Amino acid sequence: MKFAFSTLGVPGLPLPDVLRLATDNGYHGVELRAHPEEPVHPGLGALERADVAAAFQAAGVEILGVAGYVRVAEPGDDGPVLAELAALVALARDLGAPFVRVFPGGGTEQSADDADEIAARRLGTAARGAADAGVRILVETHDSHPTGADVTRVVGTVGHRQVGALWDVLHTWLGGESPTDTFAALSPYLGYVQVKDVSSADDTTPLALGTGTLPLAECLEVLSSEGWEGWLCWEYEKRWYADAAPLPPALAPGREYLTRLLSRAG
Give the pLDDT confidence of 24-74 residue by residue, as tens digits: 999 999 999 999 999 999 999 999 999 999 999 999 999 999 999 999 999
Instruction: Kindly list the averaged pLDDT for each block of 10 residues, start to end, along the chain of length 266.
Output: 97 97 98 97 98 98 98 97 98 98 94 97 98 98 98 98 98 98 98 98 97 98 96 97 97 98 89
pLDDT (tens digit, 9 = 90+) per residue, 141-158?
A: 999 999 999 999 999 999
Single-letter code of the amino acid located at 103: F
Three-state secondary structure call for residue 200: coil
Closest alpha carbon to 171 in 190, 149, 147: 147
Residue 157: give its domain's CATH number: 3.20.20.150
- pLDDT of 49 reads 98
- pLDDT of 55 reads 98
Count of the separate structural domains present in the chain: 1
Q: Which residues of 234-261 are buried (b: 16+ CB within 10 A; e: fewer)?
A: bbbbbbeeeebeebbebbeebbebbeeb
Residue-number span of the structural domain to which 18 is assigned: 2-265
Alpha-carbon gap, residue 147 to 145, rounded angstroms: 6
- pLDDT of 265 reads 87
Closest alpha carbon to 170 in 134, 121, 206, 123: 206
pTM for the model? 0.97
- pLDDT of 266 reads 74
Q: Which residues pair with 29 in a beta bridge?
A: 4, 62
Residues 6+ apart with CB under 8 A from 49: 91, 94, 95
- pLDDT of 87 reads 98
